């Protein structure tokens, strides 16, 4: 009998996590995430799934992040009728995050349609709406950590705390090949794995002894400088003091869930101890505000040494839920702190604040998390002199700073150690959920040292492997690919294009005078005409 795995997302890329396991008795999907970042990938969100949603029997969800959960409302709307098994923490977070994602889809499509109408192009419909997202919540069913649950006949699963986010899990699976099989195939899906010593969460946990391990690789090629709670707070304090000295706003683009709550815990604690100047901290994200309430509810499952309720009740913390409250922050001129989503600056209220402040050398932008290729955050991180926000070009004069201490992901050596602790891994280790370089970096780190190179696989999008044999076998899927592998791994032309426009503007502005500018423009024109 045949057991196959299809990598429907997050293969040679870091978003759109989705893995289809097909067994003799049915189909199980692990995660159903939204593609983010590059246009070519985001386009997949609008297209058909590479399977029929009605054919999927159950979904196992590792955690609430949108790149793992964000296409569930579409899956349900298009005919999925099974259950979505997730921990209670994940369900509570999804009950805010998915409706929020639905309303982002609606508003992004509304503004795209306004632009399309002006250009005479046809209307686009949202991937799903807020109502679709709310409807999909009915399909969730809670599971406990470390307890076996039956998924479909012959398949059972057990969730282990992955230490990455409230409710996050690595999922252990046992798949019987047929009723007579003496020994089931044992698999482990890492989900996203947290770093050691993470604020609020325990260290990641999982058993050992598998046939297959499917591991994330987000930071596979990076080693983070060693950190500790003390070092982390010191580095944050130094950044906040510098930002206060510059005299303008400190903008922290943050993921609404967990990263935001970690920052609040440290910022309030530093203010209470007089280590940074006291200033208002605006939590300018309705989703982050609701997520903060979920953290309060689950305080008992988080680090017991942190008094979350006291910190979250600080008078320095201001919640700006409505649009009017949010707009009123824009009138402030001196030092204040704004935490707003999204963490990679590609959506959300942070974009308004960036528009308001990026041109000012009194402002500071503090990046506190992973910035994917093609996002505004990545352009800032790489030192862009100007960026485009909602079609408008904005000069970057603000100080762009970055700290790594709040990562929700294990780094290269931590993930390699996590893999090593899962041994023996009998038949194969699949590296997924990372950009090309990160996966290659992790492969270098584990090949031969931790697992024989012959047992190491780096699947590309839509690859299908047969798992029943002594070793995994790649099936021929040429005609079933949604994207050519090189379209997944390389920056698409949209990014090249915006980079080029910014470079041209910069070169022309830097020219000595109008005559020199005229020369550059004529040369570019000649190059274009030569192409035509
Ligand atoms: Zn995650």
Average confidence (pLDDT) over 63-68: 96
Q: 163 C-alpha to center of ligand 1: Å?
A: 10
Confidence of residue 490 (pLDDT cuts 50, 70, 90): low
Q: 42 C-alpha to center of ligand 1: Å?
A: 18
pLDDT at 493: 62
**Taking CA 280 as the corner, what is the angle to CA 269 and CA 310, rounded to the nearest 5 degrees?**
40
Looking at beta carbons, which pairs linking 375-380 to residues 24 or more positions away fall under 8 Å? 375/36, 375/37, 375/344, 375/345, 375/346, 376/344, 376/345, 376/346, 376/351, 377/253, 377/343, 377/344, 377/345, 377/346, 378/344, 380/345
Q: 178 C-alpha to center of ligand 1: Å?
A: 34
Average confidence (pLDDT) over 165-191: 90
List, for residues 9-27, the tens digit of each pLDDT value: 988 888 899 999 999 999 9
Average confidence (pLDDT) over 41-51: 93
Q: 371 C-alpha to center of ligand 1: Å?
A: 13
Question: Looking at per-residue confidence, does 348 or 74 come out higher?
Answer: 74
Q: 65 C-alpha to center of ligand 1: Å?
A: 5
Q: What span, in angstroms and rounded, lies between the C-alpha atoms of 384 and 378?
A: 9
pLDDT at 374: 80
Task: Outline where DSSP puts E strands in 467-527.
Answer: 473-474
Contact 261, 299 (CB under 8 A): no
List, for residues 510-521, the tens digit of each pLDDT value: 888 889 989 998
List, for residues 450-461, the tens digit of each pLDDT value: 999 999 999 999
List, for residues 104-120, the tens digit of each pLDDT value: 899 889 988 988 888 88
Q: What span, in angstroms and rounded, lies between the C-alpha atoms of 49 and 26?
A: 17
pLDDT at 480: 78
Confidence of residue 346 (pLDDT cuts 50, 70, 90): confident
Q: 49 C-alpha to center of ligand 1: Å?
A: 21
**Taking CA 98 as the corner, what is the angle to CA 415 and CA 65, rounded to the nearest 5 degrees?**
10
Confidence of residue 250 (pLDDT cuts 50, 70, 90): very high
Q: 164 C-alpha to center of ligand 1: Å?
A: 7
Confidence of residue 142 (pLDDT cuts 50, 70, 90): very high
Q: Is 131 exposed, middle or buried (0-12, 13-18, 19+ CB in 10 A)?
A: middle
Q: Please give the mean pLDDT across all residues of the chain.
A: 92
Q: 390 C-alpha to center of ligand 1: Å?
A: 27
pLDDT at 494: 60
Q: Is 108 exposed, middle or buried (0-12, 13-18, 19+ CB in 10 A)?
A: middle
Contact 99, 130 (CB under 8 A): yes
pLDDT at 371: 87
Q: 336 C-alpha to center of ligand 1: Å?
A: 29
Residue 415 has pLDDT above 90, yes or no: yes
Average confidence (pLDDT) over 158-181: 91
DSSP three-state, residue 386:
strand
Q: 408 C-alpha to center of ligand 1: Å?
A: 7
pLDDT at 366: 98
Q: 267 C-alpha to center of ligand 1: Å?
A: 23
State pTM to two decimals.
Answer: 0.86
Q: 195 C-alpha to center of ligand 1: Å?
A: 12
Question: Looking at per-residue confidence, does 530 or 282 come out higher?
Answer: 282
Q: 162 C-alpha to center of ligand 1: Å?
A: 10
pLDDT at 495: 64
Q: Which of 264-278, 338-352, 383-397 has the highest mean pLDDT?
A: 264-278
Q: 180 C-alpha to center of ligand 1: Å?
A: 37
List, for residues 277-293, the tens digit of each pLDDT value: 999 999 999 999 999 99
Q: 63 C-alpha to center of ligand 1: Å?
A: 7
Confidence of residue 179 (pLDDT cuts 50, 70, 90): low
Query: What percentage of residues in the chain have a pLDDT greater than 90?
Result: 72
Q: 165 C-alpha to center of ligand 1: Å?
A: 7
Q: 218 C-alpha to center of ligand 1: Å?
A: 10
Contact 373, 495 (CB under 8 A): yes
* Least confident segment among 1-5, 262-266, 393-397: 1-5
Read off the DSSP letter of residue 219: B
Residue 3 has pLDDT above 80, yes or no: yes
pLDDT at 285: 93
Q: 379 C-alpha to center of ligand 1: Å?
A: 22
Q: 177 C-alpha to center of ligand 1: Å?
A: 31
Q: 272 C-alpha to center of ligand 1: Å?
A: 30
Q: 62 C-alpha to center of ligand 1: Å?
A: 9
Q: 328 C-alpha to center of ligand 1: Å?
A: 32
Q: 13 C-alpha to center of ligand 1: Å?
A: 14
Q: What span, in angstroms and rounded, lies between the C-alpha atoms of 368 and 255?
A: 9
Q: 68 C-alpha to center of ligand 1: Å?
A: 7
Q: 191 C-alpha to center of ligand 1: Å?
A: 7
């Amino acid at each position: 009998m045949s057991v196959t795995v299809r990598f429907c997302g997050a293969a040679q890329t870091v978003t759109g996590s989705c893995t289809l396991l097909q067994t003799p008795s049915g189909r199980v999907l692990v995660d159903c995430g939204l593609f983010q970042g590059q246009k070519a990938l985001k386009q997949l969100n609008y297209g058909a799934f590479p399977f029929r949603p009605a054919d999927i029997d159950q979904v196992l969800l590792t955690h609430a992040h949108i790149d793992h959960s964000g296409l569930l409302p579409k899956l349900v709307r298009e005919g999925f009728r099974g259950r979505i098994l997730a921990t209670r923490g994940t369900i509570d977070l999804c009950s805010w995050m998915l409706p929020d994602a639905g309303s982002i889809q609606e508003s992004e499509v509304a503004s795209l349609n306004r632009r399309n109408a002006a250009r005479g192009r046809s209307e686009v419909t949202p991937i799903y709406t807020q109502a679709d997202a709310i409807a999909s919540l009915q399909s969730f069913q809670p599971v406990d950590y470390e307890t076996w649950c039956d998924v479909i006949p012959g398949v059972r699963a057990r969730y282990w705390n992955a230490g990455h986010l409230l409710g996050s899990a690595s999922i252990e699976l046992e798949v019987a090949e047929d009723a007579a099989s003496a020994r089931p195939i044992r698999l482990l899906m890492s989900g996203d794995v947290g770093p050691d010593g993470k604020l609020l969460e325990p260290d990641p946990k999982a058993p050992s002894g598998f046939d297959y391990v499917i591991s994330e690789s987000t930071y596979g090629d990076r080693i983070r400088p060693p950190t500790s709670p003390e070092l982390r707070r010191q580095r944050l304090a130094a950044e906040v003091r510098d930002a206060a000295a510059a005299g303008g706003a400190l903008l922290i683009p943050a993921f609404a869930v967990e990263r935001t709550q970690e920052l609040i815990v440290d910022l309030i604690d530093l203010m209470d101890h007089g280590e940074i100047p006291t200033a208002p901290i605006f939590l300018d994200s309705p989703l982050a505000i609701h997520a903060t309430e979920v953290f309060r509810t689950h305080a008992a499952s988080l680090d017991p040494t942190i008094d979350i309720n006291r910190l979250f009740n600080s008078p320095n913390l201001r919640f700006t839920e409505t649009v009017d409250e949010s707009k009123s922050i824009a009138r402030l001129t001196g030092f204040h702190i704004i935490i707003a989503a999204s963490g990679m600056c590609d959506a959300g209220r942070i974009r308004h604040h960036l528009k308001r402040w990026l041109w000012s050398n009194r402002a500071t932008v503090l990046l506190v998390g992973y910035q994917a290729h093609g996002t505004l955050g990545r352009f800032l991180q790489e030192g862009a002199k100007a960026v485009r926000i909602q079609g408008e070009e904005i000069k970057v004069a603000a100080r762009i700073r970055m700290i790594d201490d709040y990562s929700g992901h294990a780094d290269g050596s931590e993930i390699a150690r996590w893999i090593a602790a899962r041994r023996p891994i009998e038949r194969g280790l699949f590296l997924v959920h990372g950009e090309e370089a990160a996966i290659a970096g992790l492969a270098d780190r584990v090949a031969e040292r931790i697992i024989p190179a012959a047992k190491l696989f780096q699947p590309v999008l839509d690859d299908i492997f047969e798992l029943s044999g002594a070793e995994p076998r790649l099936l021929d899927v040429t005609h079933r690919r949604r994207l050519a592998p090189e379209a997944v791994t390389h920056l698409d032309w949209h990014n090249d294009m915006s980079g080029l426009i910014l470079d041209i503007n910069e070169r022309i502005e830097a020219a000595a005078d109008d005559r020199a500018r005229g020369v550059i423009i004529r040369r570019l024109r000649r190059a274009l005409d030569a192409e035509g």
